[in-house]
Amino acid sequence: MTLIKSAIKKMRQDKVRTLRNRTKISALKKAIKLATTNPSNENLSKAFSSLDRAAKKGLIPKARADRKKSRLSKKVIVSSTTTKPPKAKKAVSKKKKSS
């Protein structure tokens, strides 16, 4: 255990900050997971907002936030274009009868 007054205070501050950061990172992960499992514009917007706030507060680097936003938007584009088109009917060829 530390005996220096400033070290004791620093440990106290670290506990509070760690707890605060853990809850914010947990909320960020939930928003990202929701956007990946259910890609819609609303979920994507919430995830982008969470990533931007986390980068602004210093929880994650700005480059990581940008990379995650880029990858999320790609997933939304892919998921919106992967709807199955109706199957085309096969052309039936008619054979001519030779008489």
**Residue pLDDT, tens place only, 40-95:** 889 999 999 999 999 999 999 999 999 999 999 988 777 777 655 566 667 666 77
Domains of the chain, first to last: 5-81 (1.20.58.110)
Distance CA 30, CA 34 (A): 6
The pLDDT value recorded for residue 78 is 77
At 32, the amino acid letter reads I
pTM (whole model) above 0.75: no
- Orientation of helix 41-57 relative to helix 5-37, angle to 10°: 160
